[in-house]
Amino acid sequence: MSDSDFSATVERFTGFGSHYDNVRPSAPTALADLLLPLAKCEGKASLVVDLGCGTGLSTRYWMPFAESVVGVEPTDSMREQAETVGGQNISYRKGFSHATGLEDRCADIVVCAQALHWMEPLSTFAESARILKGAGVFAAYDYDWPPATTSWQVDQAYASCMQLARRLEQEQGITGRLKQWDKAGHLARMQESGCFRFVRECLLHHQDEGGAERIVGILLSQGYVQSLVKLGLSEKDLQIERLREVAHRAFGSSFTRWFWSARVRIGVV
């Protein structure tokens, strides 16, 4: 497999790392509580590897729970954003999920935050199994979009923008250049890979807070929206102006609680 096969995906996530890092949610609060015992870690993990770590938001979550954390990311601008924040026990490296360059059996846990659908499944699972210790755990999680806010009108306006952008993306021929796999098939592909002796899916819930500008920012952090913006489409073309209007009417200048649901697919090697 050539790394150039993923050049369109790398381009998709180039150029908005700072914005992405400011608005995206962190990992589900309870993720470490679930994965550390599964990986037979007493106290902290020795090493956690975060595949497709982006701006390091998902990597930094692991700082209190591991002696060392390594984020692997192919997109230079995302990785550079991660490095500006850093972390005492964190390092970042350029690489792909199927070719991390890490040693055999070095990690207790390998995670993949909202990125597995951009990775070739079988080679990613094989690479994860290679770098995991015996009884190590692979876990990929995806949040449902959008989060549940305290305004159904905002949720509805967000969904309308999302549907429009998805349609425009197809009309512009963007999706045809991308390698991606449907999220609904993650679990079955893990089971069929032969890389894991146990596989299951569970749901974790996470709360944070946001207001009008963050919900607009969440939409603008989506790769499919950024791809359209790079083609010159305006916020008016994408109905983002209407989302902003509805959100300001609902939230004003205040922040409210947001509720996220994360689908976690777990594999034990």
Q: What is the DSSP string of 166-214?
A: HHHHHHTT-GGG-----GGGHHHHHHHHS--SEEEEEEEEEEEEE-HHH
The whole-number pLDDT of residue 250 equals 96
Q: Does 168 fall in a domain? A: no
Interatomic CA distance for residues 208 and 202, integer angstroms: 20
Read off the pLDDT of each residue in 39-59 and give the average, rounded to a whole number. Answer: 95
Q: Does 86 fall in a domain? A: yes
| Beta-strand relationship, 107-113 and 132-143 | parallel
Q: Looking at the chain, list the stretches that DSSP marks H as alpha helix, in order from N- to C-terminal side.
A: 7-12, 17-23, 31-38, 57-60, 76-85, 121-131, 152-171, 186-193, 212-220, 223-230, 240-251
Q: Does 169 fall in a domain? A: no
Domain housing 41? 3-145+179-210+257-268
DSSP summary character for residue 75? -
Q: Does 221 fall in a domain? A: no
The whole-number pLDDT of residue 3 equals 58
- Does pLDDT of 72 surpass 60? yes
Select from 135, 141, 142 the least CA-distant residue to 107: 135
CB count within 10 Å of CB 106 equals 17
Select from 204, 253, 222 the least CA-distant residue to 35: 204
Q: What is the average pLDDT score of the chain?
A: 92
Q: How many structural domains are present in the chain?
A: 1
Q: Does 103 fall in a domain? A: yes
Asked if 242 and 157 touch (Cβ cutoff 8 Å), the reply is yes
Q: Does 231 fall in a domain? A: no
pLDDT, tens only, 206-241? 999 999 999 999 999 998 999 999 999 999 999 999
The whole-number pLDDT of residue 178 equals 72
CB count within 10 Å of CB 204 equals 18
pLDDT, tens only, 178-214? 788 999 999 999 999 999 999 999 999 999 999 999 9
Give the domain CATH number at 90.
Answer: 3.40.50.150
Q: For 99, phi and psi rounded to 5 degrees? A: -155, 80
CA atoms within 13 A on the CB side of 60: 15
Q: With the C-alpha atoms ordered 49, 16, 10, 191, is the resulting torsion angle positive or negative?
A: positive
Interatomic CA distance for residues 21 and 160, integer angstroms: 24
Asked if 77 and 58 touch (Cβ cutoff 8 Å), the reply is no
Interatomic CA distance for residues 111 and 70, integer angstroms: 10
Which pLDDT band holds residue 98 (cuts at 50, 70, 90)? very high
Q: Does 122 fall in a domain? A: yes
CB count within 10 Å of CB 256 equals 14
List, as own/partner pairs, every contact residues 65-69 make where C-beta atoms lie below 8 angstroms and the sequence separation is at least 24, other chains included: 65/32, 65/36, 66/108, 66/109
Percent over 70 (pLDDT), the chain: 98
Which pLDDT band holds residue 177 (cuts at 50, 70, 90)? confident
Question: What's the predicted TM-score (pTM) here?
Answer: 0.92
Pick from 48-57, 76-85, 124-133: least confident: 76-85
The whole-number pLDDT of residue 4 equals 54
pLDDT, tens only, 110-165? 999 999 999 999 999 999 999 999 989 999 999 998 899 999 999 999 999 999 99
Q: Does 70 fall in a domain? A: yes
